[in-house]
């Protein structure tokens, strides 16, 4: 039995499970392909942006350099956040060190949310697809047992279809889950490396600005 036969011969539950697995597979592969391209682009941009920043003569000269290299706007918001003013509010309270820490943390978290986009979907597909396939497996076995008990004479033709459906659902659940799990781990490691670079740049930027203010 293949998927085309499953849609034509299976009942509503079997068709629903097969369709759900298909949607989960398509969604996870779209995220995998897009995020692989996105993270490779971001990793290159972050490296070039930070290098251009430290090679600039001053902060004013560094800003256009960041705009040119930071296509996904992950590094530039950190620099722009340091110029935000909120006089007369609690955001302006505290020492310059506390204020810089606050604004840089908020800008950094906004960038990290971009990097984490899609990870939840991959984790969800990887953890739930085997159970969705298991539901189809249980349903197929139920059909096989029902066919055996209702048949006057048990033949291989009456149980081969439901058993084949059950085995196909088990395999489909694993085929959907395994790429999602692998992608979640590999892409998560790339995200962690980029996060470390951004956090390091934010820390160095904070120290630089505090040093300039104290002079």
Is residue 11 within 8 A of residue 147, CB to CB? The reply is: no
Give pLDDT, residue 3: 53
Is residue 133 within 8 A of residue 174, CB to CB? The reply is: yes
Per residue, the 3-state secondary structure of 89-105, as one string, reads CHHHCCCHHHHHHHHHH
- For 94-129, write each residue's pLDDT tens digit: 677 888 888 889 889 999 999 999 999 999 999 999
Is residue 162 within 8 A of residue 143, CB to CB? The reply is: yes
- Rounded distance, CA 167 to CA 161, Å? 10
- The candidate with the shortest Cα–Cα distance to 190, out of 25, 26, 36, is 36
Is residue 180 within 8 A of residue 31, CB to CB? The reply is: no
Cα-based angle 96, 99, 103 (whole degrees, multiple of 5): 140
Reading the block at residue 123, the tokens are 């984790």
Give pLDDT, residue 155: 58
Confidence of residue 177 (pLDDT cuts 50, 70, 90): very high
Would you say the pTM of this structure is higher than 0.85? no
């Amino acid at each position: 039995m293949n998927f085309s036969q499953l849609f034509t011969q299976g009942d509503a539950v079997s068709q629903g499970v097969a369709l759900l697995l298909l949607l989960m597979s398509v969604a996870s592969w779209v995220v995998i392909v897009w995020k692989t391209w996105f993270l490779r682009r971001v990793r290159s941009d972050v490296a070039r942006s930070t290098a251009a920043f430290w090679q600039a003569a001053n902060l004013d000269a560094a800003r256009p350099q960041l705009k040119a290299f930071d296509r996904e706007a992950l590094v530039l918001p950190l620099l722009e956040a340091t110029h935000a003013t909120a006089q007369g509010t609690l955001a302006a309270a505290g020492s310059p060190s506390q204020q810089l820490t606050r604004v840089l943390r908020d800008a950094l978290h906004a960038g990290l949310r971009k990097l984490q986009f899609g990870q939840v979907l991959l984790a969800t597909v990887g953890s739930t697809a085997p159970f969705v396939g298991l539901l189809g497996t249980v349903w197929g076995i139920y059909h096989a047992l029902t066919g055996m008990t209702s048949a006057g004479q048990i033949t291989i033709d009456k149980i081969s279809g439901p058993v084949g459906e059950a085995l196909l659902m088990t395999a489909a659940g694993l085929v959907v889950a395994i790429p999602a799990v692998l992608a979640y781990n590999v892409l998560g490691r790339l995200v962690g490396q980029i996060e470390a670079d951004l956090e390091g740049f934010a820390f160095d930027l904070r120290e630089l600005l505090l040093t300039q203010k104290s002079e």
